[in-house]
Every structure is written in structure tokens, then in C-alpha cells.
Structure 1
Amino acid sequence: MPEHPELVLVTDLDGTLLGGGSEERRGFYRWLAEQRERVLHVFCTGRDLGAIAQVLGDDEPLGLAAPHLVIGDVGCTVACGSSLLPIPLAVNPIEQRWQALEPRLRTLLEGRPGLELQPMSSNRRLAFYVDLDQFDLGLIPVLEAEGATVVMSDNRYFDVLPGGVNKGSTLLSLLEWLEADHATVVTAGDTLNDLAMFETGLKGVMVGNAEPALVEQLPRLSGVYHAQGHGCQGIAEGLRHFGFGHLMD
């Protein structure tokens, strides 16, 4: 891991780092590999560690390498990029919050119409598919009153997290631990579960294929650039916009 990175690049996966055409992705992944001592790369995703491992295996032929660090489970997990082993210093405080909360939340959510538990080994959160035609949105303030954070994205994902935990809060804690200069940090995402990253005040790239509900938030997000390019192409466009083009030339 670079001691003094010139850029800390924090990327969502699906639709962002994994978005765009094969050639664009191959070129961007090659650039990341070449700049590994100058660019500290962090995955920041809703996927759990098992699903992240699968992505790294599936996209290895395109040149995708493990990042330096991983934020997974929509902010509920922090892990080493190469081993995908959780980092206790970062994870334990989230785990402590979750243990007290989980039984009450499961009781409230059990058997609710419009929710289907996702088949993943998620930790420190409950992850569902949601059918908005059947789900009662009035349940959300009830969950929040119990101390949970609710994140919906792409009109089909419904995540229930410990209160105050999301991609943005966990990223800020990680940057503090790394003693990273915020001026060197750029985030990138495409769905509503990336909104918390964009609300941190850090530089952000909303890729061109972002979901409409996220794009609607753009006017209030200072420091977020809406790229024209999709996926990796949009990330590269955003990096040039923010003055990191010298790393790409």
C-alpha cells in the first residue's frame, strides 16, 4: 500500500468500476495496475466479501486486480484488499452496534410483503430485494426509530444497517485511520447507496449511467462531477476533471 499516495480512488463496483465496455474496462484496470504505488484504490460496495472475491475472479481476465482496501456491505465491513480479511479495528465498533440491534429489526421485518432476503452471507446488516408495489414505505421510519439506517437503491435493493453507518461514514473513518489528505480523495458511484459518499464533501464522480434518483440529488451535492461517460470511462473523465490527468498521461 502506498505510504504517500497522490490519489486515493474510492470506487463502487456494479455500474461503476464494473461498468462500461470491455475495452474501456481493460484499459482502466491496466492503468490502475501500473499506478499501484501512486494510487491507493479502495472498493466501496454493497457486495459482501464473498461476492467481491467472485468479481475479482470473474474479471481477472480483463486485468482487474485486488484493491488495497475494501469497504463492503454498504459500509458495514472493512477488509484488506489482497486477503479480504476483515480489519477488526474498523469492524468491531460496527459489530457492537449491530448485535444489540439485529434481533429487534428481524422481528419487525419478518414476513413483510415486498421483501425477500438476499442470498448472501451479509454481516452487520440485513439485505433484501424489495418490490415497491407491495412494500409499505411506512415501515422505514419505524426501523429508523429503532436505531437503524435504511438504504434503498436501484429500485430493488433494501439494506438495513446500524444507525449512522453507511458508505460515507465508514469511508471518513477509514481516511482518518490512514491519515489521508482529503484533497487527494476522489469517490465514484452510480446508485443511491453511493449518495452517502457524495454527501461527505469529498470530490465525487457520478458516472453517466447513474440511476435517475441519484442524479436528482446532484444540485445539492457540492464537489460532485456528473460525467458523460459510463462506468470506467466516466471515472477516468472525472479524474481528469479534478486535475489528476497527469497520472493518466
Structure 2
Amino acid sequence: MPALSRQLLQSQLSAPLPEAPELVLVTDLDGTLLGGATAERRSFYRWLAEQRKRVLHVFCTGRDLASIARVLEEDEPIGLAAPHLVIGDVGCTVACGQSLLPVPLAVEPIDARWQGMEQRLLPMLEGQPGLAAQPLHSERRLAYYVDPEQFDHSLIPQLEAHGVDCLLSDNRYLDLLPAGVNKGSTLLALLAWLEVDPQLVVTAGDTLNDLAMFETGLNGVVVANAEAALLEQLPRLSSVYLASAEGCAGIAEGLRHFGFDHLWD
């Protein structure tokens, strides 16, 4: 059955995946893959492009697909190429990295969990102080900018009682996700379909919406510019490395820490 799932997954993509990747690199975008000095980013993007047949690259981000498309267009001049796969909407969307078309195998179960949620949740959120809707194009989550000083935090358990998880990150974002769906859960499902050896996987991030990735037990890199609330979680995350460098340089530092130096040869 796993082989069938991998074959089905590949059939729903517009571009092939590496046959036998030596590394599966799973990167958040803002503050992580898009973080650091321009020269460091340019160098890391060049390395990613050169290793495309050896490194299976996955974006794992809170951005929606339209926003990811803008990032790829804006950063193309410094060498950022499309990944092989995308996990977007904080885990609620999986898409082909080349076409940015959703992958039905991965998305349909999440759709089923989200059915009817907006009708239940929107009346509770309307007019709440400290909340402003983010301009997203997503069918499987609700996302808001939040002012933590004005927001009534007692609303969170009321919302979660309706079958969602509420995720506050970077002290300014609130995401409402189908219960049990996050970057980590979607990543693990994707890796199972791909039949990937977990030892070949490295995740990288910088905010609390990346915490679920780090809680999977997979090797992870927290870049130096991470938010304080994520850094507080590090003592219990034994498989996660805290880089001394920011953004792309921090990712590269973490990869060397986990023994992937040979990919720079």
C-alpha cells in the first residue's frame, strides 16, 4: 500500500521527484528560507538548485498558494527556485511545487475535517477586539492578525470546543486549523506516502507555527533569529539544533551539524 500511495502521489504532480534523495529538506519561508543577508540567501539558493536531484525540497509555510507564487516571482532574481513540494496554510494545503496545484491525495482528508467550520466560527469571531482578518485564499483555515494586548484569550477554548486548533505565532498571527492538522501532522503523512527514511529529513523554522514540525522527532534546525516563545520550547526538543546564524546561513549550519557535509562536496 505505501508504494501505491507514492505512485499515486507522483501521478498527481506536474514534475518528478528525486528517485532516491539523499536529503529531504523541509523549510519554513519567512524568517527561515527567506531570512538572512542577500549574499547568504543567494549562495544557499544556488546550492539548492545544484542539488535538485539529490535534495528533495519542501516548503512548509503559513503562506497560502497565491502568496507562495509571489515569493517565487519576487525572489527569482536571487535564485530561489520552486521546491518539489509545498505544505502551505500551516499544514492545511499540500501542492506540487512546480505548478502550485493542490494534491488531492493529501488535501481531501483535510477538507473533510474542515467542512462546516466557517459557518460555526465566523459568528464567534466577528467584531472581536484585537483581530483583523488576513487577506488569504484558503479553503481550509481561518487566519487573523492579532493584537495580543486587545485580544480576549478566553475566546480560544470556546473556539477549540467547535473542533479546531488555535495557533498563536510570532505574537501577531492567529490561525484556526482543523483539529489535529498542522505542519507536523501533514509533513509526517507526506513522508509516509514518499516512503522516506526519517534519518534523511531535516526541518527548519523560526516561529511557534513551526513547533509541530519540531515535535515530530525529526531532526530540526531553529535559526538564530527565532521568536523567543519557540526558543523556550527547545529544552524538550532533543532532536532540534539551535543555529548560531540566521535564516539561510542557519539552515546550512544545521545541515552540517546533522552530517550532510558531503552534499557540499
Aligned: 1:164 with 2:180: yes
Aligned to 1:227: 243
Residue in 2 aligned with 1:215? 231
**One-letter amino acid of the counterpart of residue 19, structure 2:** E
2:202 to 158, 178, 186: 186
Q: Does 2:58 correspond to 1:42? A: yes
Query: Is 1:73–1:122's contact at 8 Å kept on the other side of the alignment?
Result: yes
Aligned residue in 2 for 1:195: 211
Q: What is the aligned partner in structure 2 of residue 133 from structure 1?
A: 149
Which residue among 13, 32, 43 is the counterpart of 1:16? 32
What aligned pairs does 1:1-249 form with structure 2 within 5 A after superposition? 1-249=17-265
Unaligned runs of 5+ in 2: 1-16
Question: Counterparts of 2:27 and 2:48 in 1: how far apart (Å)?
Answer: 12
Deviations 1:56-94 (A, max 9, x none): 000000000000000000000000000000001100110
SS in 2 for 1:200: coil
Counterpart amino acid of 2:220?
Answer: G
Query: How far 1:120 sits from its partner (Å)?
Result: 1.7
8 Å CA contact 1:16–1:190 kept in 2: the answer is yes
Q: Partner letter of residue 74 of structure 2? A: D
Shift of 1:102: 2.2
- CA offset digits 1:195-237 (Å, max 9, x no partner): 0000000000000000011000000112000000000000000
Gaps of 5+ in 1: none
Q: Which amino acid aligns with 1:183?
A: Q
Amino acid at match of 1:105: L
Deviation at 1:110, TM superposition (A): 1.5
SS, match of residue 188 in structure 2: helix
Structure 2 residue matching 1:132: 3-state secondary structure? coil
Instruction: For 1:104, give the aligned amino acid.
Output: R
Q: Is the 8 A contact 1:73 1:123 kept in 2?
A: no
How far apart, CA to CA, are the structure 1 residues paired with 2:229 and 2:43? 29
The alignment partner of 1:120 has SS state of coil
Once residues 124 and 222 of structure 1 are traced to their aligned partners in structure 2, the CA distance between those partners, rounded to angstroms, is 32
The alpha carbon displacement at 1:46 in A equals 0.2
1:152-185 Cα deviation digits (max 9, x unpaired)? 1111010000000000000000001111111100
CA offsets, 1:124-152, max 9 Å, x none?
00000001111010111111111101111
> C-alpha displacement at 1:41, in angstroms?
0.0
Q: 2:46 corresponds to which letter in structure 1?
A: R
Distance in 2, matches of 1:12 and 1:123, equals 21
Once residues 83 and 74 of structure 2 are traced to their aligned partners in structure 1, the CA distance between those partners, rounded to angstroms, is: 15
Amino acid at match of 2:79: G
Counterpart code for 2:263:
L
Shift of 1:123: 2.4
Q: Normalised by the size of structure 2, how large is the TM-score?
A: 0.93
Shift of 1:122: 2.1
- For the aligned residues, what is the CA RMSD? 0.7
| 2:56 counterpart letter in structure 1 | L
What's the CA shift for 1:100? 2.8
Q: Which amino acid aligns with 1:152?
A: L
Which letter does structure 1 place at the counterpart of 2:82?
Answer: A
